[in-house]
Structure 1
Amino acid sequence: MATGLGHLLSIGLGLFYCTTGLPKLFSFIPAHRVLKDDFVKFATVFPLKPLGIVPNPTLYMYAVGVIEFGAGVMLGLGSHEQQVTSAMVLFGIMVGGLYTLVSLGRKQTDWIPPIVCMALLGLYLFQTL
């Protein structure tokens, strides 16, 4: 288990990713409807589209939600190896999220959340490795 700043980052980021994953999974959460509409757009610029892989937007949203929630739990509560692995997985999700926003031509201020998340995950990984 990480100590000091690494421990705080693992707990805080784990909680954050659990709360961002839940609205993608449960339709009774108000943000679910907005996310569902967003993932229709996100699927059009899926990073593997040049290879002919275009996901179903609903399944794409659920997959991201499961990964965020599961990796968030592992980041907050798992063993050191699980925390490091989940931080790397979440970093990859954020790279994909940033790629999606850039590809959709979203304004640069929309890029801030994934960039901040990548910075915090990178800081966590730097602190613990």
Structure 2
Amino acid sequence: MALVFVVIRVLLGLFFVLTGAIKLTDRISPELHAEAVDEFVKFAQVFPLIEEGIEVDPMNYLKAVGWIELIGGFLLAFGLKFMQEVSDIALSIVMMGELYSFLVLKEEFQACLPAACCLFLLLTLLYIWERDKDKQKKQ
């Protein structure tokens, strides 16, 4: 069973590395990069702190999320245990923000599925790690 979670962790990490890289450059896929730019223009309009008067530049927002996904994905896949957990939490927050943005923008259900699946897998990994920590404390 542990091997299954290692495979999920590594594949999920590599997925985030790829999505982060797509957000940061158009050299991998110009179409997907352009789509990400369009999404983040919309996301910047519903950023939670906009009501507090904090304006968000869509391109800086895109780059920030891209770097978080790239570095977080790499650490999730190949980092030390502590780094994996920290990156899991950071990526979970990013996925919650993406889901929040999709819901506020009233996007179609299908648009929310990738973020929801990633969030589910990230939270499952956190749950398993915490469960294993509790087992080790009891022993």
| Contact 1:5/1:127 (8 A) holds in 2 | no
Partner letter of residue 11 of structure 1?
Answer: V
Q: Which residue of 2 aligns with 1:15?
A: 14
Higher mean C-alpha displacement, 60-69 vs 43-52? 43-52
Structure 2 CA distance, aligned partners of 1:110 and 1:26?
A: 22
Partner letter of residue 53 of structure 1?
Answer: I
Structure 1 CA distance, aligned partners of 2:127 and 2:5?
A: 9
Cα deviations by residue, 1:20-46 (Å, 9 ceiling, x for unpaired): 111110122311112112211110001
* Deviation, structure 1 residue 126: 1.4
Structure 2 CA distance, aligned partners of 1:78 and 1:54?
A: 34
Q: How does 1:92-107 map to 2 (within 5 A)?
A: 92-107=93-108
Partner letter of residue 81 of structure 2?
Answer: H
> SS where residue 88 of structure 1 aligns?
helix
Q: Which residue of 2 aligns with 1:62?
A: 63
* Deviation, structure 1 residue 54: 2.1
* Deviation, structure 1 residue 10: 1.5
Structure 1 CA distance, aligned partners of 2:58 and 2:41?
A: 5
| Contact 1:43/1:60 (8 A) holds in 2 | yes
Unpaired runs of at least 5, structure 1: none
* Deviation, structure 1 residue 59: 0.7
Structure 2 CA distance, aligned partners of 1:82 and 1:51?
A: 32
Which structure has more relative contact order (CA 8 Å, sep 6+)? It is 1
TM-score calculated relative to the size of structure 2: 0.86
- Percent of aligned positions that are identical: 35
TM-score calculated relative to the size of structure 1: 0.93
Q: Which residue of 2 aligns with 1:25?
A: 24
* Deviation, structure 1 residue 127: 1.6
Structure 1 CA distance, aligned partners of 2:63 and 2:24?
A: 6
Cα deviations by residue, 1:48-92 (Å, 9 ceiling, x for unpaired): 112212210111101100000000000001000000110011000
* Root mean square deviation, CA, Å: 1.1
Q: Which structure 1 residue ranges, 4+ long, deviate > 4 Å from structure 2?
A: none
Q: How does 1:1-129 map to 2 (within 5 A)?
A: 3-28=2-27, 29-30=29-30, 31-129=32-130
Structure 2 CA distance, aligned partners of 1:92 and 1:115?
A: 12
Higher helix share: 2
